[in-house]
Amino acid sequence: MIPGLPDDIDQIKGFLAEDEAQALYQHALQLSTLGPVLEIGSYCGKSTIYLGLACRTNNSTVFALDHHRGSEEHQLGEFFHDPALYDAGEGVMDTFREFRSNIRRTGLDEVVVPVVAGSEAAAKHWQTPLAMVFIDGGHSMEAALTDYRCWTTHLMRGGVLAIHDLFEDAHEGGQAPYAIYRMARASGLFEDLGQVNSLGLLRRL
Ligand SMILES: C[S@@+](CC[C@H](N)C(=O)[O-])C[C@H]1O[C@@H](n2cnc3c(N)ncnc32)[C@H](O)[C@@H]1O
């Protein structure tokens, strides 16, 4: 049982399986003693809550990076589109309101620092070493490569890179996360910590 986890965590909109959430929490619990955690792709804050509760234990921080305009699959007419998260006036997705509400009612306002921007723009002047990077942003090849190139350089030695939505079989899901996972493994820069469901874990050597 994770202290502070909302009873209705299953009701929070998101794309994270229970075993993956537990793995994120356990790694963040260890690593946040070394430095802050950054996630790319917060959506409504489900993964952020698990990372945030771990960081709160160690008085650390989660940088929750998301432009909150949704990925390709969330857009109007796409398979994972949620009309409740669509701003019809502006004609755009807007998950930030829901995200803030979920973070506030979990009591994580002082732990979670939202970075409301695109991944590349946010990385441009980034200098803070990170103890853990969780990649769960855009799933196009371009987006995944950008996330990998922009953020793994900031991972401290001993830090952990977690990549979500790894599917070996293209029929099960998009291949971009798996491509950057293979790239990381082939780089010689990481120790392979294995997979939990579709979550890959690698430790920076
Ligand atoms: C699959 S969802 C994240 C799910 C979340 N981790 C959870 O636990 O439910 C992907 C998120 O990545 C964001 N995103 C996609 N491309 C992005 C980019 N280039 N920069 C910042 N955020 C991006 C989308 O807005 C979306 O909210």
Burial label, 205 (beta-carbon count in 10 A; 0-12, 13-18, 19+):
exposed
97, part of any domain: yes
69 CA closest ligand 1 atom index: 25
Which is catalytic among the residues 27, 139, 154, 164? 139
59, part of any domain: yes
Total-model pTM: 0.98
Share of the chain above pLDDT 70, in %: 100
Is 139 one of the catalytic residues?
yes
Please give the Cα distance from 33 to 175 (Å, whole number): 33
Mean pLDDT of 30-58: 98
What is the pLDDT at residue 170? 85
Please give the Cα distance from 35 to 13 (Å, whole number): 28
Q: Which two tokens stand for residue 31?
A: 């690593």
9, part of any domain: no
CATH number of the structural domain spanning residue 144? 3.40.50.150
pLDDT confidence tier of residue 47, bands split at 50, 70 and 90: very high
pLDDT tens digits, 79-98: 999 999 999 999 999 999 99
118, part of any domain: yes
Mean pLDDT of 187-204: 98
| CA of residue 204 to ligand 1 center, whole Å | 23
6, part of any domain: no
Question: Do 167 and 176 touch, CB atoms closer than 8 A?
Answer: no
User: Mean pLDDT across the chain, nearest whole number?
Assistant: 97
Indicate the residue type of 130: L
Please give the Cα distance from 153 to 155 (Å, whole number): 6
Give the residue from 162, 136, 167, 147 showing the smallest Cα distance to 22. Answer: 162
* Torsion on CA atoms 157, 3, 13, 193, rounded to nearest 10: 30
102, part of any domain: yes
Whether 172 has a pLDDT exceeding 90, the answer reads no
Domain count, the chain: 1
14, part of any domain: no
> Does 41 sit in the ligand 1 pocket, CB within 6 Å?
yes
Domain residues for 178?
19-204
| CA of residue 16 to ligand 1 center, whole Å | 12
| CA of residue 136 to ligand 1 center, whole Å | 6
Three-state secondary-structure class, residue 58: coil
2, part of any domain: no
Give the residue from 121, 125, 120, 123 showing the smallest Cα distance to 146. Answer: 120
